Amino acid sequence: MNAIETVSLSKQFTGKKRARVEALKQLDLQVAPGEVFGFLGPNGAGKSTTIKLIMGLLRPTSGSASIMGMDVAQAASRRVVGFLPENPAFYDYLSAEEYIRFVGSQFNMDASLLNRRTEEVLKRLDLWEARKRQMRGYSKGMVQRVGLAQTLVHDPEVYILDEPMSGLDPIGRALVKEIILDLKKRGKCVFFSTHITDDVEKVCDRVGVIVQGQLRALDSVENIMRSGIEGYLVQTRQHVGNQAALQEFKAIRSNEQFVEYLVPVAQFQEFMALVGESSVEITLLETKRRDLEAFFLDIVENGKSA
């Protein structure tokens, strides 16, 4: 059974003067339990729309979605979910502690467990000092932290986070990555949206790229990183061996000490054979890859022109 599944999920907004926006087109997606899935896309791509559909906040124009096999039209499908909305807002007249308790009680947690978990998550997100203050006095990042804390308190199986790192300082971002990796280790499913490729590269198993409401790429981070290998940077020592043997490969840099070559993957074998024959000394070998950022930018560019 999939932790999250969408079948031809589509959403059309009808705005003023009947202007239609196709925010999401025929999305088919399966996210497995235990998987960390990054949902990547530029502004206005349809990430939040997808998440709101999965959370039952919007109704699909067509198609369907389910969480742990349960249709999202039922409130019970959210029993196993910790959900962080985009730029969240919580009852600002409550304190963080009161709100976390309120959330816990919605999941029927028993009192002693709730006490313990509330303390745990508030401390983890560095809200312990502020826990008794009304949230109307919180900074943006603090509210975001409350948002994360309330997804964790009931220890659900599935986490749906809309831009979890937004509004956080570098320490906070690092903390979120750590939390996500920790959840992964414990076999939880995390589905989060972002436009920051670096976050995805560090924590995700799989990534989906959405542009203008359409899923343009769906692959494991590992595959993308591997397919992103463009070639190898080979640094050799100047004046050692017969450099002339390598002349069909263009040196990209040459100085008193070193000569550097950029060798395409396909010609690497051939290059290394020549190196062996000519007794050239290799001082450094580096993989040259396009990072996820470049991959993402490519897809977005192609997506826009398509």
Interface residues toward Mg ion, by CB under 5 A: 47-48, 86
Minimum gap (Å) between residue 83 Cβ and other proteins? 4
Binding mask 14-43 for ligand ATP (x = CB under 6 A): -x-----x-x-----------------x-x
Q: Out of ligand ATP, Mg ion, other proteins, none, which partner does residue 132 contact, by CB within 5 to 8 A per kind?
A: none
Q: Closest approach of Cβ 216 to other proteins, in Å?
A: 25
Part of the chain binding ligand ATP (CB under 6 A), chosen from 45-53, 134-142, 182-190, 215-223: 45-53
Element (H, E) at 60: none
Phi-psi region of 27 (alpha: psi -120 to 50; beta: other; left: phi over 0): beta
Q: Cβ of residue 154: shortest distance to other proteins, in angstroms?
A: 10
Q: φ, ψ for residue 211 (rounded to 5)? A: -135, 130
CB of 92 or CB of 301, closer to other proteins: 92
Tell me the closest approach of the beta carbon of residue 147 to other proteins, in angstroms: 7
Calculate the dihedral angle through the C-alpha atoms of 229, 182, 141, 85, rounding to the nearest 10 degrees. 90
> For every residue of 14-56, which 3-state class applies, written as one string?
ECHHHCEEEEEEEEEEEECCCCEEEEECCCCCCHHHHHHHHCC
Q: Which does 41 bind (CB under 5 to 8 A by kind): ligand ATP, other proteins, Mg ion, none?
A: ligand ATP
- Comparing CA positions, the residue from 208, 161, 221 lying closest to residue 188 is 161
* Farthest-apart Cα atoms in the chain, separation: 78
